[in-house]
Structure 1
Amino acid sequence: MKKNDIATTLGLVAAVVFFLFGILSNAGFAGLVNFIDIPSFFIVIGGTTGALLTAFTLPELKNLFKVVKQAFSQHEQDLEGLIKIFVNLSDRARREGLLALEAEMENVDDEFIKKGVLLAVDGIEPDVINDIMSAEITAMEDRHKIGRAIVEKAGELAPAWGMIGTLVGLILMLKNLNDPSTLGPSMAIAIITTLYGSLVANVICIPLASKLAARTEKEVFLKQIVIEGVIGVQSGQNPKILEEKLSAFLPANARQKDDDDAEEETANEA
């Protein structure tokens, strides 16, 4: 289940708000106008876009918006619920056989879980199942890496184009030292372009790339749990043993909570 990740939006908004607050608190609304420069904007955005077109293919760039969208959403996965799924599957497999799990998969939305369990039902060896599912994880990581590389590259290129804009402004200024009226606009391009490049990189690109990397790590972690669960079900592990094995993936506080619940259950039965 996917839901909006409000942290990403809040982070971007907070960065912009505090940046503007720093300007307004010192220069007021009138001073804010001094930080708006159209030529500087086009040098940074246009230059970065052109460089990305050179560095990547059009099909890769077409997926950029889909990639960035992932940073604003998160896949809500209940680890404890995932473990219970495999404990229940293990219990049913031991009672009714692996073939009984095929019908169970009709109610499962996660394609990765479904694929793994159906491989187990088909009698595929555990090592082969592990290889097949691990290969799918590797392919997913490669796909994510390509999309993330575009955002990371934009974070590298934007400051560079800011420096190019600075050089343009300095050249214009030095070539027109005999005309004092051109010094101000030329210096504005020189300084503001660097500012724009730094903002694009440090407010947008680098944080989004970090968020996307964290998303990939979390997805890989969840899929590794699925592989362990599928192999445990396929090999006929005792549901209790499988639960203990998969619970090792839970955070320490969640494991402690489960232990406390188990002790409370035992006390109530006594």
Structure 2
Amino acid sequence: MDGIGQIAHFIDPLSLAIVVGGAFAVAVVRSTRDDVARAFAALGPLFRADPQADATAAVRAVNAIEALAHVRGIACVDRVDTAGRFLKRAAFHLSDATSADGFADWARDEMDGRRSRHDAAAGFWRAAADAGPAMGMIGTIIGLIGMFSQMDDAARIGPSMALAMLTTLYGVVISGAIAGPIAARLERLSEAEREWQGRSLERLERLARTELGAVSF
């Protein structure tokens, strides 16, 4: 019971509301509705993602696409069975392309769109991490004001001091142990993912130029 009582000293609803609520409110204001949805959806694959395994699978899939294109033509490459949705979309657009330039335009737009969406999702958590200490400081100031206004009653100083200290603690935890690490990992995963996706699209574009040429039919 003593341990539980000690833990209870670190839990204060008002402090949590100021820091956690404030930090996420700032992040929401700085983001669109879709960005917020992507930010929380990204938590699912946050620890399950394996960019190295995805890159290896992508190499195999592109090899299969190239082999099928050389045997049966580029219009059939959408029949290649790939586990990833990205390469399925790429194979579909490649099979439907009328020129290499058309496929290259799609590939560039696809990568730009992915970069924008990934940056927005990570940016939400980065905004929350940036706002955490500021919200903690606001709570600290509120607590200090409460302390100074009640100096004539020592029994009432404790709650205000707890508010001042706990909001600082919560701000540091939100920034350094929760939102900040989430943002950093999402950024690293995004960079690794875009790297293998970019290499895959470069190979598919070369295939398109070999099979279709650069001029639209």
TM-score, length-scaled by structure 1: 0.66
User: Which ranges in structure 2 are unaligned for 5 or more consecutive residues?
Assistant: 212-217
**1:192-203 matched pairs, under 5 angstroms:** 192-203=166-177
Within 2, Cα distance between the matches of 1:80 and 1:225? 12
Kindly indicate whether residue 33 of structure 2 is the aligned counterpart of residue 46 of structure 1. Answer: no
User: Residue 87 of structure 1 aligns with which residue?
Assistant: 63
Shift of 1:173: 0.8
User: Would you say how many aligned residue pairs link Structure 1 and Structure 2?
Assistant: 209
User: Residue 35 of structure 1 aligns with which residue?
Assistant: 10
2:94 touches 2:208 (CA, 8 Å); kept in 1? yes
From the superposition, tell whether residues 126 and 28 of structure 1 become closer, same or farther in structure 2 (CA, over 3 Å): same
Kindly indicate whether residue 152 of structure 2 is the aligned counterpart of residue 178 of structure 1. Answer: yes
Q: What is the aligned-residue identity percentage?
A: 26
Within 2, Cα distance between the matches of 1:217 and 1:207? 15
Shift of 1:101: 3.1
User: Residue 117 of structure 2 aligns with which residue?
Assistant: 143
Within 2, Cα distance between the matches of 1:81 and 1:62? 28
From the superposition, tell whether residues 75 and 178 of structure 1 become closer, same or farther in structure 2 (CA, over 3 Å): same
- Deviation string 1:131-167 (CA, Å, 9 cap, x unpaired) is 3212101101111222221111111112111111110
Kindly indicate whether residue 196 of structure 2 is the aligned counterpart of residue 222 of structure 1. Answer: yes
1:93 touches 1:101 (CA, 8 Å); kept in 2? yes
Kindly indicate whether residue 178 of structure 2 is the aligned counterpart of residue 204 of structure 1. Answer: yes
Shift of 1:220: 0.8
Q: What is the RMSD computed on CA atoms of the aligned residues? A: 2.7
From the superposition, tell whether residues 42 and 112 of structure 1 become closer, same or farther in structure 2 (CA, over 3 Å): closer
1:89 touches 1:233 (CA, 8 Å); kept in 2? no
TM-score, length-scaled by structure 2: 0.81
From the superposition, tell whether residues 172 and 139 of structure 1 become closer, same or farther in structure 2 (CA, over 3 Å): same
SS of aligned partner of 2:49: strand
Specify the code of the residue in structure 1 equivalent to 2:148.
Answer: L
Shift of 1:93: 2.9
From the superposition, tell whether residues 53 and 226 of structure 1 become closer, same or farther in structure 2 (CA, over 3 Å): closer
User: Residue 165 of structure 1 aligns with which residue?
Assistant: 139
From the superposition, tell whether residues 220 and 177 of structure 1 become closer, same or farther in structure 2 (CA, over 3 Å): same
Shift of 1:59: 4.5
Specify the code of the residue in structure 1 equivalent to 2:192.
Answer: K
From the superposition, tell whether residues 186 and 67 of structure 1 become closer, same or farther in structure 2 (CA, over 3 Å): same
**1:1-270 matched pairs, under 5 angstroms:** 30-74=5-49, 77-102=53-78, 104-105=79-80, 107-122=81-96, 124-236=98-210
Within 1, Cα distance between the matches of 2:149 and 2:180? 36
Within 2, Cα distance between the matches of 1:115 and 1:59? 22
Shift of 1:170: 0.7
From the superposition, tell whether residues 180 and 84 of structure 1 become closer, same or farther in structure 2 (CA, over 3 Å): closer
SS of aligned partner of 2:9: helix
SS of aligned partner of 2:29: helix
Within 2, Cα distance between the matches of 1:119 and 1:54? 36
2:65 touches 2:91 (CA, 8 Å); kept in 1? no
Within 2, Cα distance between the matches of 1:49 and 1:81? 37
Q: Which has the higher contact order (CA 8 A, sep 6+)?
A: 2
1:173 touches 1:187 (CA, 8 Å); kept in 2? yes
